[in-house]
Amino acid sequence: MGSLRFAALAFRLGLFQACLGALSVLTLGIFNRLLIDEFSVPAALTALALGAQQLVAFTRVWFGQRSDNCRWRGLRRTPFVLCGSLSFCVLFWIAGRTVLWLAEASQAGDGSAVLFRGLVLTVVFLGYGLAISASSTPFAALLVDVTSERQRPALVSVVWSMLTVGIVAGAILASRFLGTACASTDLDLVIAGVERLIVVAPLVIFGLILLAVVGVERPVEPQSKEAKPAADRPAELSFAQAWTVLRASPQVAYFFGVLSLFTFSLFLQEAVLEPYGGAIFGMDVCATTRLNAIWGVGTLVGIATTGFLLVPRLGPQRTALLGGVLAGVFVLLMVVAGAVVSEPLFRLALLLFGYAAGVSTNASLTLMLGLTSPALAGTFIGVWGLAQAYARGVATVTGGGLLSLFGGVFGGQDTYGAYASVFVIQAVGLLLAGLLLLRVDTTLFQQRVQRALGDLLALELD
């Protein structure tokens, strides 16, 4: 019964991550494709606007600390998760309206209005990113609060997999929701479909988040902390003390850099994948949105099987290298598919790339768990989350920027050469990240962190 209760809790909490996955498809899939292809907004401006949500990721640490110290009816994490979720649902609707407003200026050929409205959309997504940080970081801390150390790896694996499930479900449901607008060249039908989507999606997503988190967190009694002996309570470190521990191990900075490179390379295609399908293979909006489902299914299979088949045999470092090599090869296979204009080969390559990405992600997640101290779980989660968020945001902006840059070389941002150049850079980055992950040493990390924690506790006792 205990295992069944834990499984139910894991899948329930996973709904929150599934909602974030679905939202990423709607913003970086549909909004991105419509702005670049249907409405001819410059790719660099689109990438800047949509990638701005990651530029405020530094606030994750602040929101995590606030959720540690604040109380609302005995709850620490739930108020932040719900308030942040309500905010990003409202901001998603505002972003959708702003996208359509920007599209009007682009269709009218008003360049100055396109720039101004693009910058307004950037500001909206900055607020959207703040709301994501306010909810996702306390949510990660909630995972630590409600589980034991032995349960935590399994819970994280399920929740991470649910993120991929959300990406797949978001791609499928969005394409179905747009209906006949997908195959139509009538922009009025497309706009009407988007208007319906931005109203319904936030309501459904917030309802699922309520189901995911309400009632999960156990209220903290006001006197419970004081009632416990000091020896029985986990150490509470100030930000300065936590920073001292972070600096104690060189593996922290090294893994931060390598994780950033891996995440950057993995998501470099995010801003150009759907436009690539439309420009090179002539796919409609819904067909390119479903590309996320193909990629997501491959990733889900990779995440789910790697922990059983590869990591126990190769170890996380070598598994990460294998995933990086395979991901790079399959990205190049997508380039080959474009050269021969074979949509079936493109879909196969994308599925295989998703699997390789899942292998690398699972290995990186295993390393992340090994590079986390129980006494500073929230701090390390915030640090690794910060690396991923900024790297993903930079990747989104860079992907669109590179497409525009190479478009100038090859005669347009919708040319094969422009897209192929972006994918080649991505393949090189994935291979390099896999090689660098071989040098991550979790044992040395744990020794340095425990020594630093011991030194701090000794100073407090003096």
Which tokens sit at 353? 């790339």
Spell 313-343 as b/e; 16+ CB within 10 A means b. Answer: eeebbbbbbbbbbbbbbbbbbbbebbeeeee
**For position 449, what pLDDT does the model report?**
65
Region 184-199 average pLDDT: 73
Mean pLDDT of the chain: 78
pLDDT band at 117 (very low <50, low <70, confident <90, very high): confident
Q: Are 15 and 212 in contact (CB under 8 A)?
A: yes
CA dihedral 100, 106, 112, 113 (to 10 degrees): -20
Higher pLDDT, 240 or 17: 17
Of the ranges 15-19, 90-94, 177-181, 341-345, which one carries the lowest mean pLDDT score? 177-181
Question: Is 60 exceeded by the pLDDT of residue 112?
Answer: yes
Higher pLDDT, 380 or 197: 197
Question: Is 80 exceeded by the pLDDT of residue 139?
Answer: yes
Question: Is 90 exceeded by the pLDDT of residue 423?
Answer: yes
Domains and CATH numbers, the chain: 8-215 (1.20.1250), 237-462 (1.20.1250.20)
**For position 239, what pLDDT does the model report?**
54
The predicted-structure confidence for 1-41, as pLDDT tens digits, reads as follows: 457 787 788 888 889 988 988 888 888 777 877 787 777 78
- Rounded CA gap, 79 and 215, in Å? 11
- β-strand partners of 72: 75
pLDDT band at 438 (very low <50, low <70, confident <90, very high): confident
Q: Are 434 and 84 in contact (CB under 8 A)?
A: no
- Rounded CA gap, 77 and 99, in Å? 32
Question: Is 60 exceeded by the pLDDT of residue 224?
Answer: no
**For position 235, what pLDDT does the model report?**
47
**For position 213, what pLDDT does the model report?**
87
Question: Is 70 exceeded by the pLDDT of residue 70?
Answer: no
- β-strand partners of 75: 72
Q: How far is CA 123 from CA 91, 95, 119, in A?
A: 11, 10, 6
The conformation of residue 28, written as its DSSP 8-state character, comes to: I
- Rounded CA gap, 174 and 178, in Å? 6
Region 320-328 average pLDDT: 90
